[in-house]
Amino acid sequence: MQKSDSMKENPSQLIQYLESLADTKYRDFSAHLLPSGTNLLGVRLPLLRTLAKEIAKGDWKVFLSAEAESDYMEETMIRGFVRAYAKMNFAERLQQIATFAPLIQNWSVCDSFCATLRFRKNELPPLRRFLDDYLLSEEEYKARFGFVMLLDHFVAEEWLHDIFTTCDECRTTAYYTQMAVAWLLSSCYIHFPDDTYTYLQKNRLPDFTHNMTLRKICDSFRVTEQQKSEIRSLKRI
């Protein structure tokens, strides 16, 4: 990808290159799935990841230090992916995450960024402490970021109690945050059905989040019909 190679040295060429990759049909389709007003070109995610990996192999600090050339969602995504792919120590990774997180203004950027990050097991406890500021936020996408990070990196037996307590303490009823909480808890149920079922029998979730969790669980092909029947019985009217 000759043009993308130049991105390592000249970040200002990024938008021009992205425009050459744009797919208007994909843009129009994606626009229906994103919040109104999202500014996008229509570049498919695998192409963005490929470009970000190439940038991350070069002088990525220079690339990230340059101001964004636009507010296109694709440029924001690339800046997130570069932070995820570039080689750096854990402390610097957290610093880069903290710098990027305020740029998250829709679920797509949030979820793609969270899923791309990678951590060692011994990094999870300090990462969890780092996430407190996000998980306890009243801001929709700041909180969503925290809960999707739990979904992608903490769904394990040793973190279940913490996840349940944190979900009960969620401070915002914003739609995209509640959906993230429901998604997280449905994943917990799929992996740890007994513990999660016990939690769902008695929790402090808002009715919408509770019922959406049940719905997401029942939508899973990994849940038996008997389990779905038990889950539906917990629905709040």
Whole-number pLDDT of residue 3:
53
pLDDT range class, residue 1, cuts 50, 70, 90:
very low
Q: What percentage of the chain exceeds 90 in pLDDT?
A: 89
Report pLDDT digits (tens) over 186-225.
Answer: 999 999 999 999 999 999 999 999 999 999 999 999 999 9
CA atoms in the 13 A half-sphere facing the CB of 59: 9
Q: Where in the chain is the domain with CATH 1.25.40?
A: 119-237
- Report which DSSP code applies to 10: -
Residue 224 or residue 3, greater confidence = 224
3-state helix, strand, coil in the chain (%, to 5): 70, 0, 30
Locate the DSSP E strands across 13-104.
none
Does pLDDT of 101 surpass 50?
Answer: yes
pTM, full prediction: 0.94
- Pairwise CA distance, residues 136 & 133, whole Å: 6
Determine contact, residues 74/18, Cβ cutoff 8 Å: yes
Does pLDDT of 9 surpass 70?
Answer: no
Report pLDDT digits (tens) over 142-157.
Answer: 999 999 999 999 999 9
Mean pLDDT score across all residues of the chain: 94
Whole-number pLDDT of residue 69:
79
Q: Which CATH number fits domain 119-237: 1.20.950, 1.10.10, 1.25.40, 1.20.120?
A: 1.25.40
